[in-house]
Structure 1
Amino acid sequence: MTIYLYWGSDDFAMAKAVDSLRDRTLDPAWATFNADKISPEQSDAVIQGLNQSVTPPFGSGGRFVWLVDTNVCQQASGEVLAEMERTLPVIPETNVLLLTTPNKPDGRLKTTKLLQKYAQVQEFSPLPPLKHNEIVSSVRKAAQEVGVKLTPDAVDLLAESVGNDTRSLYNALEKLHLYSLSAGPQPLSAATVDQLVTATTQNSLQLASAIRQGDVGTALELVADLINRNEPALKISATLTRQFRTWFWVKLMIESGERDEKAIAAAAEIGNFNRIYFLRKEVSSLSLSQLEQILALLLELEVSLKRGTEELSTLQTKTIELCQLCRPTSFR
């Protein structure tokens, strides 16, 4: 494959993939002569990129042509389409043409259909915060790539700490890798991860814990702290929803009479079934009805934020309502 289309908003993951593709294509000794990075501000950027993509490389290795932030999959002239139809089938095997864009390609356009025919298309979008098992899998894969051995508990904690933030994940793994060089061959524990990694989602989890306990004062302080640190409100909402959904499923399974912790963990989509012991204690003060009402209220929060309501006041209002829902029935 000589043509690639990378799209999505996870620019850190995309940048890593771009570097890897460029390194595989170029001979370092000839990289200066054979690497072309063409920005969208240049006139006729796509035409330039197509022309360069069929130019033989100098010396050894291949030629790497990168059309940065191209809009060819959002709009394109007839001239561009004609040039793509003429050029894409004849790009030499020695050369690589890479197109990157943060936007999802418009599948209705002829240029997009043409790239789908000739190019390897890859999406680089953050995993949904609610897909905890997928985030755990991505943490495990990244740890293997960096060369860091982690215990299952450490993998789970790292996933909780960095969420779907790829940049934070790799920064944390680089730090853990340096530590492991002097710590010996044993997998690093959750305690080590807790000591070395600055959690980017941890305050949202602390917020969920404060809400569960009905602690309005602490919960509002955490909301203010998260907003002051520029944490996206929708990300806070997603973390709360995932945590309360986990508590809901644990409570539901317990009340249905399930005693097998592995079965409860599977239903709640928890990778490490040892967490069930602690989750049992956490949900003991909440009824299934309360958890159902909380999830409904969190859905209202998500809808409000997506409609563009003011983030801080919306979070504060819903946090107070959530804390009130979590208080024992006799006090409500």
Structure 2
Amino acid sequence: MPVYIYWGEDDYALEKAVTILRDRILDPLWSSFNYTTFPPEQSNIIIEALNQVMTPPFGNGGRLVWLVNTDVCQKCPDNVLAELQRTLSVIPESSFLLLTFPNKPDERLKSTKLLKQFAKIETFPLISPWDKDALVRAVNQAAIAVEVKITSKSAEMLADAVGNDTRLLYNELEKIRLYAQGSNKPQDIDVVTQLVRNTTQNSLQLAAAIRTGDTAKALTLVTELLGASEPSLRIVATLIGQFRTWLWVKLMLESGEKNPQEIAKAAEIGNPKRIYFLQQEVKSLSLQKLISILPLLLELEVSLKQGSPELPTLQTKVIELCQLCQGT
């Protein structure tokens, strides 16, 4: 197909897919003539891109026209829709149009329906930070791509360390690959522990400290995380994910559900064996407290996105959360 749509919040995985597509289509010697990107801030970019993709490539290889972060699947003026209708079916076989954006296309739009007739669509969603099984699978797939062997325990440790940050995952695996120096021996957890910065696990430890109302430990973990250059919004995302999981487990238990498979399904947990441990963790918290915690975490996220200073903002909210969990 001459049209490709890549969308999703995992920008690193999306960028890697773009690189693979670009290398497949373009001849390196002619890429400067046949490769054009259109950033979203340009005016009339969609019509310009469509005009460009109708131009046969120069020299060898094909032509690639990339609409970066386009909003054509979120809103589409009539003149742009008319141009899409006129152009998509007659794009030359040697020319390719790529559209990328972070959000799911609006299926109700005529432009989306039209593009789906001509486009190959690939999605790059972020894995939920609390979906441990999916994170471990992603680690193993990335290890194969990087050509480094790791043990199952190492894969679990990496999943805890990087969470759903694909860019960080590949960076850490590259360090392990360089350390292994072509060895066929799977790298064990001792090696990974030495090389990998385990910040997601610390964020989960922060969630546990808040849950138990351990204010001193929670504040120490906040300082350590920020000192290790862990982005504050990633810390909050991990906290939201963990407390959402605890809330779902508590809701199911309060409703009388005892089947671990059903609880796991509702809480979006891949491994039902985790339910027993999660049940123990939420015993000390009432359902009302768990319900009250999520709005506070969302307030924290909004404050950080609005530019509030990271350390005092996190410290203040963590103290408030710990006091809520203590019942004071």
Normalised by the size of structure 2, how large is the TM-score? 0.79
Cα shift readout 1:218-265 (whole Å, capped 9, x = no counterpart): 1122235546754215314235437858998xx9xxxx9x9xxxxxx9
Q: What corresponds to 2:201 in structure 1?
A: 202
Q: What corresponds to 1:66 in structure 2?
A: 66
Q: Aligned pair 1:319/2:322, yes or no?
A: yes
Change (3 A) 1:242 1:199: farther
| C-alpha displacement of 1:318 | 0.8
Q: What corresponds to 2:220 in structure 1?
A: 221
Long gaps (5+) in structure 1:
259-264, 326-331
Change (3 A) 1:213 1:69: closer
Q: Aligned pair 1:20/2:20, yes or no?
A: yes
Normalised by the size of structure 1, how large is the TM-score? 0.78
Higher mean Cα deviation, 63-72 or 306-315? 306-315
Long gaps (5+) in structure 2:
none
RMSD, aligned CA? 3.7
- Identify which of 278, 281, 288 aligns with 2:283: 288
Maintained 8 Å contact 1:129/1:238: no
| C-alpha displacement of 1:85 | 0.5
Maintained 8 Å contact 1:39/1:68: yes
| C-alpha displacement of 1:292 | 6.0
Map 1:170-209 → 2, pairs under 5 A: 170-181=170-181, 184-209=183-208
Q: What corresponds to 1:98 in structure 2?
A: 98
| C-alpha displacement of 1:92 | 2.4
Q: What corresponds to 1:49 in structure 2?
A: 49
Aligned length: 310
Cα shift readout 1:186-207 (whole Å, capped 9, x = no counterpart): 1111221111011231321232
| C-alpha displacement of 1:216 | 2.2
Q: What corresponds to 2:141 in structure 1?
A: 141
SS in 2 for 1:201: helix
Amino acid paired to 1:28: P
Cα shift readout 1:44-63 (whole Å, capped 9, x = no counterpart): 21112112212221222111
SS in 2 for 1:65: strand
| C-alpha displacement of 1:21 | 0.7
| C-alpha displacement of 1:108 | 2.1
